[in-house]
Amino acid sequence: MNNWPKEKKQDVSIKIILFLISPFFASLYSLRRIKTKSSYLILFLTFVLFGLVFSVVSGKSESGGYGFDGEFYRSSFERFQYVTNWEFIEGFKEFLSFDEGKKDYYFDTVAFYISRFTDNYHVMFMIVAIIFAFFALKSFRFLTAEKKFDTSLSSYILIYLFTFNQIFNINGFRFWTAAWIAVFCVFQIYRNGNKWYVLLALLTPYFHGTYWIFIGVLVIVQIFKRFDRIWVALFFISFLVSTLAVELIQYFQSYLPTFLSRSVDSYTNADYIEQRQTWSGFGWLPVMFENFVRVYLNIMVVLFIKHSDEIKANPKTKDLYSFLLIWITIFNFFMFVPSLGNRFIILIYPVIAYIWLVHFKDVKYTFILFLLPIVFIWKIIEQIRYYFLVTGYDFYFSNPVLLIYNYILAY
């Protein structure tokens, strides 16, 4: 995977010229030959510039905001210029104590050190974009380096599934950066058999506290991955549970301990469910497509189970399949808590895309893969809309020098 394909000088020159005119259009052109090193470099630099131009108001309660997490992170960053060295160190000690208080320290670290030399929040999101893009593209290389990956429509559909956690998600800062680090570790451990990446996996809770769950699942996979038949049975049960999650938790809520009952109440009460159905202005459509996506992905896993003998016979996908089966089973059961089920399920999108590429592309179930853009259409529209809400037209039509001037030098 370390060897890049040879490139034509003319193609590289076109990318460079386009980048100097518009990084956005250079990145679109790079998708034509995504396997090449120059394409990856163009994408990386474009992602970094997206982080630079990423624009939100300060504070979610401010008028003109969209309720993005990035609005909270901007306002929090702007307060960090008043945080002293002593307060930062004490906060880090609090994080290391694993007691009540700080559950992770990635945002605090980035915000503290950047605030020492600038109050420009664009610089903060640019730094976050560098880290996000690095691990996203390192993971993405596993897909594009495969021999079966080409410029066909099916390959580009798999690109979308693999990179569903897009650069816009620097908006979520901590969780989604940790997600790409976790995905990179999963491919290194279960595809390449490099166990040393468990050490990198242990750093993910530093980025977001919930990733102790990720560490826990890695332990479960290591101990119980041999029991495929049991996990298959549990998977089908978990899929049924995930479709009835809210109804089941509401039924059993009165039997839960008080603290747990309160914690799930915010996700299951009628007001919250009604809010989910109406917050977009399109009534029940977002919930319907969310259910379509969940069912569709589970069907893909069912097809993997059907062909598990073939998948497990391939050393590239054998352990990835075991990880996928255990991961989706566990988080199907957690689907009633959106902060766990809905978010953590996304971590296995790249694994699904990779296994599909290796075993199914141009061989079987092509019609099912071609349904993906239809099933994900609401998400696709939503993602496109989000990009335009946090960027101006200058990101798409300006050169990188002008962007750097506008968002750093002239800020």
The tens digit of pLDDT for each residue in 336-392 reads 666 677 889 999 999 999 999 999 998 999 999 999 999 999 999 999 999 999 999
Which whole number is the average pLDDT over 157-165? 97
In sequence order, which residues have a C-beta less than 8 Å from that of residue 51 and are 6 or more positions away?
Answer: 122, 125, 126, 127, 128, 129, 130, 132, 133, 167, 170
Which among 12, 16, 130, 125 has a CA at the least distance from the CA of 399?
16
CA–CA separation, 340 and 351 (whole Å): 18
Question: Residue 336: which residues within 8 A CB-CB, separation 6 or more?
Answer: 245, 246, 248, 249, 264, 267, 268
**In which region does residue 7 sit, left (phi positive, over 0), alpha (psi from -120 to 50) or beta (all else)?**
beta
The Cα 27–Cα 400 span in angstroms is 13
Percent of the chain with pLDDT over 90: 73
Evaluate whether residue 148 is within a structural domain.
Answer: no
pLDDT at 27: 96
The yes-or-no verdict on residue 270 having pLDDT over 50 is no
Query: What is the pLDDT averaged over residues 229-258?
Result: 71
d(CA 386, CA 280): 13
**In-domain check, residue 384:** no
| pTM of model > 0.85 | yes
Residue 269 lies in a domain: yes
Q: How far is CA 213 from the centre of its chain?
A: 16
- For 162, the token pair is 């693999």
Kindly state whether residue 158 falls inside one of the protein's structural domains.
Answer: no
Assign 97 to helix, strand or coil.
coil
Q: Tens digits of per-residue pLDDT, 35-93?
A: 999 999 999 999 999 999 999 998 766 556 778 999 999 999 999 999 999 999 999 98
Q: And the tokens for 56?
A: 């939100």
d(CA 196, CA 398): 43
Specify the pLDDT at position 94: 87
Q: Is residue 77 part of a domain?
A: no
- Distance of CA 184 to CAs 188, 192, 279, 286, Å? 6, 11, 34, 30
Q: What share of the chain is helix, strand, coil (3-state, %, to 5)?
A: 75, 0, 25
DSSP 8-state code for residue 405: I
CA distance 68 to 59: 9
User: Mutual orientation of helices 174-190 and 106-115 as an angle, nearest 10°?
Assistant: 120
**Residue 123 in domain:** no
Neighbours of 167 (CB within 10 A): 20
Q: Where are the alpha helices (DSSP H) in 269-399?
A: 270-278, 285-306, 308-313, 318-333, 341-345, 349-359, 366-369, 372-375, 377-390, 394-397
Q: Is residue 19 scored above 70 in pLDDT?
A: yes
Can you tell me the mean pLDDT for 196-210?
A: 95
Task: Report the 10 Å Cβ neighbour count for 164.
Answer: 18
* Residues 6 or more apart in contact with residue 154 via CB below 8 angstroms: 361, 362, 366, 369, 370
Neighbours of 397 (CB within 10 A): 12
Distances (CA, A) of 238 to 229, 286, 328, 344: 14, 22, 8, 15
Query: Which structural domain range is residue 297 located in?
Result: 173-359
The whole-number average pLDDT for the span 16-29 is: 96
Asked if the structure places residue 221 within a domain, the reply is yes
AA identity, residue 348: I
Give the SS3 label for residue 67.
coil
Dihedral sign (CA 286, 291, 292, 296): positive
Does any domain span residue 299?
yes
Structural contact between residues 143 and 354, judged by C-beta atoms closer than 8 angstroms: yes
CB 217 within 8 A of CB 327: yes
What percentage of the chain carries pLDDT values higher than 70?
A: 87
- Report the C-alpha gap between 81 and 87 in whole angstroms: 12
Q: Where are the alpha helices (DSSP H) in 97-145?
A: 106-115, 121-144
Distance separating alpha carbons of residues 292 and 94, to the nearest angstrom: 42
- Please tell me the total count of domains within the chain: 1
Q: Compute the average pLDDT of residues 21-43.
A: 95
What number is the average pLDDT over the span 183-187? 98
Mean pLDDT of 5-15: 92
